[in-house]
Amino acid sequence: MAFCAASLTAEACAKVIDGKAVANRIRDEIRAEVSRMKEAIGVTPGLAVILVGDRKDSATYVCNKKKACDSVGIISLEANLSEDSTEQEVLNYISDFNNDPSVHGILVQLPLPKHMNEQNILNAVRIEKDVNGFHPLNIGCLAMRGREPMFVPCTPKGCIELLHRYGIPIKGKKAVVIGRSNIVGIPVALLLQREDATVSIVHSRTINPEKITRQADIIISAVGQPNMVRENWIKPGAVIIDVGINPVEDSNSPRGYRMVGDVCYEEASIVASAVTPVPGGVGPMTIAMLLKNTLISAKRIHNFE
């Protein structure tokens, strides 16, 4: 793990992009819309979450999503399957939720156990209920000009929403995305391109990635390496969105660990003009966008504007 210069004492100048505060405002907006819909047509949006296995982090995320649903009046259903359940059992749940009119969104928590084929399972979610936006048809539409995806994937949508709500211009800017996963790197790069940024993607095979990131007006990092992005990766005044959520040992924390991003926050907050913290940055936005997509789905299915 890269060591983050703790001795830096210069005054931080970057603006903190407060994802938690923005997410709370978005949740207020959603809560109001959910109740307006309930009163007007008697329909409550519903989200089904499928959790397979007993990974602690996944269980925590699912629990947070459930609480978030409660907080805005969205009904949440949960299917908990054991680690050794079969792919067919997961597919059966998906099929039930696909056909359940009270369910407007279906989310399969990733990662799935190794013996399951992730593609088969994600393909089985009805595209009209794919609030995560992981269906290949959906990513295909996102990549095509003149097409609109059914749902924009939550984390990428949260990143762009943060830039919008902070009035950070994207059009004509040079954006560099670090990471090329199906769930974050690729879709966020596609979204930036749709916003008329000039986009580069760097990944584990990129030679001298810091030379490329140093040209960026906007960096979005989704790698999974604590403190990888250092001061010399960042152009002075750049805007940094740190998607990474990485546990690092911390004997001072009651859990024995704490979460840090991909970006060395102390260094970024000196060089950059704005930066998202971890926690409190993109994470809460991901959940807010999941609620938003569930609301959008319910409105679309019931033809409610």
Ligand X SMILES: NC(=O)C1=CN([C@@H]2O[C@H](COP(=O)(O)OP(=O)(O)OC[C@H]3O[C@@H](n4cnc5c(N)ncnc54)[C@H](OP(=O)(O)O)[C@@H]3O)[C@@H](O)[C@H]2O)C=CC1
Catalytic residue among 15, 20, 58, 71: 58
For the beta carbon of residue 12, count every other beta carbon within 10 angstroms: 17
Distance between CA atoms of 263 and 267, rounded to whole angstroms? 8
Q: Indicate the residue among 53 and 185 with the shorter CB distance to ligand X.
A: 185
Q: Chain centroid to CA 173: how far?
A: 22
- Residue 224, exposed/middle/buried by CB under 10 A (0-12, 13-18, 19+)? middle
Nearest to 57 by CA among 304, 230, 259: 259
For the beta carbon of residue 293, count every other beta carbon within 10 angstroms: 26
Q: Indicate the residue among 12 and 59 with the shorter CB distance to ligand GUE.
A: 59
Per CB under 6 A, does 120 bind ligand X? no
Q: Which two tokens stand for residue 236?
A: 């002075």
Q: Is 109 a catalytic residue?
A: yes
Binders of ligand X among residues 136 to 155 (CB under 6 A) are 155
Q: 170 near 192, Cβ under 8 Å?
A: yes
Candidates 163, 243, 275, 298; binder of ligand X (CB under 6 A) is 243
192 binds, among ligand X, ligand GUE, none (CB under 5 to 8 A by kind): none
Q: Which stretch binds ligand X (CB under 6 A): 30-38, 40-48, 76-84, 202-210?
A: 202-210
Per CB under 6 A, does 293 bind ligand GUE? no
Distance between CA atoms of 282 and 243, rounded to whole angstroms? 6
Candidates 113, 169, 224, 279; binder of ligand GUE (CB under 6 A) is 279
**Minimum distance, C-beta of residue 87 to ligand GUE, in the bound complex (Å):** 16
Q: Which stretch binds ligand X (CB under 6 A): 66-74, 81-89, 126-134, 223-231?
A: 223-231
92 binds, among ligand GUE, ligand X, none (CB under 5 to 8 A by kind): none
Distance between CA atoms of 140 and 136, rounded to whole angstroms? 6
| Identity of the residue numbered 131 | V
Candidates 59, 280, 301, 302; binder of ligand GUE (CB under 6 A) is 280
**Minimum distance, C-beta of residue 94 to ligand GUE, in the bound complex (Å):** 13
Q: Indicate the residue among 48 and 141 with the shorter CB distance to ligand GUE.
A: 48
Candidates 4, 43, 110, 143; binder of ligand GUE (CB under 6 A) is 110
Total residues at the site for ligand GUE (CB under 6 A)?
18
Per CB under 6 A, does 278 bind ligand GUE? yes
Per CB under 6 A, does 282 bind ligand X? yes
Distance between CA atoms of 139 and 142, rounded to whole angstroms? 5
Per CB under 6 A, does 72 bind ligand GUE? no
> Residues 113-132 vs ligand GUE: string with x where CB under 6 A?
-------------------x
Distance between CA atoms of 156 and 35, rounded to whole angstroms? 27
Instruction: Give the DSSP letter string of 94-130.
Output: HHHHHH-TT--EEEE-SSPPTTS-HHHHHHHS-GGG-
Q: Which residues are catalytic?
A: 58, 65, 109
